[in-house]
Chains A and B, each alone.
Chain A
Amino acid sequence: MSDSEAAPPRPLAPFVKIGANGKPYLEGLKCAACGEVLAIGIRRACPKCAAVGMMVPVRLAERGRLYTYTVVHRSFPGVVTPFVAALVDLDGGGAIKGNLVGLDSAAIRFDMPLQVRFETLNAAGDAAAPQIRHVFTAAVD
């Protein structure tokens, strides 16, 4: 008899994908006309150059630089604070939001190099239905 297995973790962001090997990665779109890379799934026309039907899926880098951030101290009931909400420019294109973890807020610098890590969570209180989220940490060169 086998224990009931947890379902495969579900991503918490549209640009987080789970590969066939079960490993998470980031995917966005690139405009074949102007080369702009988006982390958001806009497909019909390019939001930068307006070319129609030229968006193709592209794997996003898992390293980037901090563009802007805030330290959130007050949020909705049940949300654990403080946390750092960051906006990161991924190397090669694409900008994504996420939590910046593992460092004191006093150590945060604009443009600091960051890397993406993936974590499995139990945000719904059901161990059989986990989620996977991305976070940013200071890049270790």
Chain B
Amino acid sequence: MSDVYVIGTDMIRFGRFPDRSVEDLGAEAALLALKDAGLGIHDMQALYCGNVGEAHRNVGQRIMQHLGQTGIPVVNTANACASGATAFREGWIGIKSGLYDFVLCIGVEQMGRGLLGGGASYGGIPTEGLVGSGTMPSMFASLGMEHTRKYGTTFEQFAKVSVKNHHHSTLNEKAMYRFETPLEQVKEAEMISYPLTKLMCSVNVDGAAAAVVCSERKTRELGLMQRAVRVRASILQSDPYTPHNLALMHY
């Protein structure tokens, strides 16, 4: 089996782009990554594209229309928040197995606005607020409270994670929001679902990123070892059974 290297990668500026198509966002990221690698779409032997919002509408193939339709195999991956990571993993497998030397891996999403999740209903009646909650913030808040139950984690400790995350955004010129959030500001923001305030919830955003993944042999041949990053491992898991697993996501 071959060692696997990332020889080019980039992302677009994240933001809200309702007037752009998802394939245009993905193609922009792909072209940036290809440029970073010093290669073109003709060099790629397969494309893996992670997307959920249009998972059944061949986003990868539509991106190829904006890159050059070379006819390479395209696989679209939909694995919830791990969709892009799964696209990368499938590319990694293609190289590791020796099947390919060069693959292009893309992740792209347009999130729209507003609260995610919910929509639970039974017998045609929406049950949000009547029988628990199905919103994403309430689900993650419940999981956070499980952490509190097990380890005594406090509201302030959860809030400090946001302070750290927002600080990191100031180091990335392509992040959508780039500002520091002092701890008191995080704690005093609107409470969405305890212990998560608004500043502790993910923002809906449109974005895309891509990576050119390469075999060890070709990385050496191209003289790219100095800049290449080796992929040492990739792990994917589905949710193993727990008594609460079936209840928390649905009922």
Contacts and interface: CB of A to CB of B under 8 A. Distances in A.
Given A69-B142, A75-B118, A98 B244 contact: no
Contacts of B115: 74-76
A87 B127 contact: no
A39 B251 contact: yes
A41 B243 CA distance: 14
Contact of A99 (B122, B131, B141): B131
Contacts of B245: 47
23 contacts: A10-B125, A48-B241, A67-B149, A70-B138, A70-B195, A70-B196, A72-B141, A73-B192, A79-B129, A85-B132, A85-B138, A85-B193, A86-B132, A89-B243, A95-B246, A95-B247, A97-B132, A97-B248, A98-B131, A110-B149, A131-B123, A131-B125, A133-B131
A96 interface: yes
**Residue picked from A14, A68, A83, A96, most chain B C-beta under 10 Å:** A68
Interface residues of A, number: 45
Given A79-B128, A83-B133, 7 more contacts: A13-B122, A40-B246, A70-B133, A75-B118, A75-B129, A87-B142, A98-B131
Nearest to B243: A95
Contact of B122 (A12, A47, A80): A12
Interface of A: 10-15, 36, 38-40, 42, 47-48, 67-76, 79-81, 83, 85-87, 89, 93, 95-99, 105, 110, 121, 123-124, 131, 133-134
Contact of B246 (A38, A68, A131): A38
Contacts of A11: 122-123
A26 to B, nearest CB: 11
B194 interface: yes
B247 A13 contact: no
Given A11-B123, A40-B246, A74 B190 contact: yes
B123 A72 contact: no
Contact of A121 (B130, B138, B145, B251): B130
A36 to B, nearest CB: 8
Contacts of A86: 132
Nearest to A119: B130
Interface of B: 115, 118, 122-133, 135, 137-138, 141-146, 149, 190-196, 241, 243-248, 250-251
B251 to A, nearest CB: 6
B123 A15 contact: no
**Residue picked from B125, B144, B248, most chain A C-beta under 10 Å:** B125
B194 A124 contact: no
B125 A124 contact: yes
Contacts of B191: 71, 73-74
